[in-house]
Amino acid sequence: MQICVIGAGYVGLVAGTCLANFGHKVVLVDRDQEKVSCLKSGGIPIFEPGLAEAIAQAKLAEKIGFTSCLEDGMNGAELVFVAVDTPSRADGSADLSRVLQVAREISKYLNNFKTIILKSTVPVGGTRLFKETLLEQQKGHNFALLTNPEFLREGSAIYDFLYPDRVIIGTERTSEANILTDIYKPISKRIVVTTWENAELIKYASNAFLATKISFINEIAGICERVGGDINKVAEGIGYDSRIGPQFLKAGVGYGGSCLPKDIKCLIATGKQLGCEMNLLQSVVQVNLKQRHNLLQKLFELLPVKPGLTIGIWGLSFKPDTDDIRESPALDIVQRLKEVGCHIKAFDPVAMPNFKRIHPDLDYGQDPYEAVQGVEALLILTEWKEFMNINLNQVKKLMTGQIIIDGRNIFDPQLMKQQGFTYCSVGR
């Protein structure tokens, strides 16, 4: 089948590459000519384990191409996936301007019947608005419109696409979903075909629930700290309950990334527009922001604030195995440290180029050891594996002080005490 994917960002690039490796002929379209040139020359604009190899495989089979020309991508395509960003507005609602602009542009190339699949995350009513925008430009109804939200986790996106927990397809007519159902049948036994509105809500509610689990366990971690409990053991015991499950019960400095923060804010904004106060979700957001404040509070209780303090930071991405820094806790924490006059040394295995665009004035290390040389305290904000396997004796020799604030609970408190560190973690 010939497929056009509009938007060579995280979602579009992963989906398009996997579809190409299913044997379909895929053309990825992106208006960013620099990104297209990068992909054509063998480069990868994002860090995602396994993606470079998957693209190379699709190229070798001549199943994938890249262009900045929409007409070239649409020409001959039977399926058109729309995977452009829907960033947040100041009030938390989704900015659909890019999605609706795509609707206007693709309407010019619907001479032959096409099935359009909206993979961009849109709020309730977004798919219907997309259709209305198409019909404003398109005479007749020469298309079927489906919504197919993605549930990929950065760092394991290829696996998640190939082995999904479920596939959600929103449609006006069940028969129109058959073409997409046939594509997903080989990889998923759980295909839910429903209305546009239900599919849209499934996406937002899923991410809001995951964020809620994170904020919940962080609230319980606060109690653990006051009674001498161990949040890891508490989470383990909770997670064995099949009604709850262990996923996303990991206490720390809070969630970030391109999905959870954006989607929960959008769901709150949608509720407000509809007259439904989302009190629980508002608390989830507040707890998440408080986790960043709590980490700094622990630091400043041990190390009085004064200009000129040298603080080391390990981890700048919002999670390991990605270079994505969107809504990363490190952004807020670094900004606050700079405001009080701290000198910051930092290291991240892959996210430093992205972080430098926002904070070019940090002292970036070549490795974790360089980022702790001469620091009075170290903050751990991302649980990269290489931090877990670090030589702690060498770290201690390089640091001026012995304070480590572990926002991801990667070390054993007893071991750190034996090593001579003043060690604080979350909920332990």
What would the DSSP string read from start to end of 203-259?
HHHHHHHHHHHHHHHHHHHHHHHHHT--HHHHHHHHHTSTTT-STT---SS---SSS
Q: How far is 13 from 109, CA to CA, in rounded Å?
A: 22
3 state SS of 141: coil
**Tell me, what DSSP letter sits at residue 49?**
T
Q: Report which of 181, 187, 205, 180 is spatially closest to residue 270, judged by C-alpha positions.
A: 205
Strand partners, 147: 118, 170
Q: Report which of 399, 295, 300, 385 is spatially closest to residue 348, judged by C-alpha positions.
A: 385
* 340 φ, ψ (degrees, to nearest 5): -95, 10
Q: How far is 248 from 361, CA to CA, in rounded Å?
A: 34
**Bridge pairing between strands 25-29 and 114-118:** unpaired
Helices (H) and strands (E) in the chain, counts: 17, 14
Q: Report which of 351, 407, 403, 347 is spatially closest to residue 371, judged by C-alpha positions.
A: 347
Q: Report which of 135, 103, 101 is spatially closest to residue 117, judged by C-alpha positions.
A: 103
Query: Where in the sequence numbering do the catalytic residues fall?
Result: 259
E strand segments, 32-170: 64-67, 79-82, 114-118, 143-147, 167-170
Q: Report which of 313, 353, 318, 365 is spatially closest to residue 336, judged by C-alpha positions.
A: 313
Residues shown for the chain: 428
In contact, 236 and 58? CB cutoff 8 Å: no
Query: Which sign, positive or negative, has the C-alpha torsion 309, 310, 316, 318?
Result: negative
